[in-house]
């Protein structure tokens, strides 16, 4: 049986441009919020911290995309990010992108790689 300790969610929990799933990881010895979304069929994860000021992107849990489901947006500052790379593409992010978190999709589940999931 596979180790499920780093399973974030089921693959079916994510839709292209839809709600993301929040989770916490051990990042540099601290419990840090992160999120996973689906964009063009691929799951991507990032630390849940705006590049402008380290506040969480979503005011409503899991709402990371803009209204069109194209870009990730900071609800506080309006900064826009590329959902595949986390690069800053507009708004108040001072050119700083999101910090990617490695994940893999396998056996209909999204699993955190490299870091420890904190439940």
The domains of the chain are located at 7-118
Note the CATH architecture for domain 7-118. 3-layer Sandwich (2.102)
Residue 1's pLDDT is 40
Q: Which residue has the higher pLDDT, 116 or 62?
A: 62
74-97: per-residue pLDDT in tens?
Answer: 999 889 999 999 999 998 887 799
Give 58's DSSP letter.
Answer: -
Question: Rounded to two decimals, what is the model's pTM?
Answer: 0.93
9-63: per-residue pLDDT in tens?
Answer: 999 999 999 999 999 999 989 999 999 999 999 999 999 999 888 899 998 999 9
CA proximity to 20, closest of 58, 74, 49, 52: 58
Question: What is d(CA 96, CA 14) in angstroms, rounded to the nearest whole number?
Answer: 26
Residue 104's pLDDT is 96
Question: What is d(CA 28, CA 30) in angstroms, rounded to the nearest whole number?
Answer: 6
């Amino acid at each position: 049986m596979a180790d499920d300790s780093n399973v974030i969610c089921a693959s079916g929990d994510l839709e292209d441009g839809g709600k993301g799933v929040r989770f916490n990881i051990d990042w540099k010895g601290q419990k840090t919020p992160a999120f996973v979304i689906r964009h063009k069929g691929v799951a991507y994860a990032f630390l849940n911290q705006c590049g402008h000021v380290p506040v969480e992107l979503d005011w409503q849990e899991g709402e990371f995309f803009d209204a069109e489901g194209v870009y990730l947006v900071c609800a506080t500052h309006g900064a826009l990010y590329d959902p595949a790379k986390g690069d800053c593409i507009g708004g108040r992010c001072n050119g700083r992108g999101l910090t990617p978190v490695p994940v893999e999709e396998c056996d209909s589940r999204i699993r955190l790689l490299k870091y420890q999931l904190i439940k």
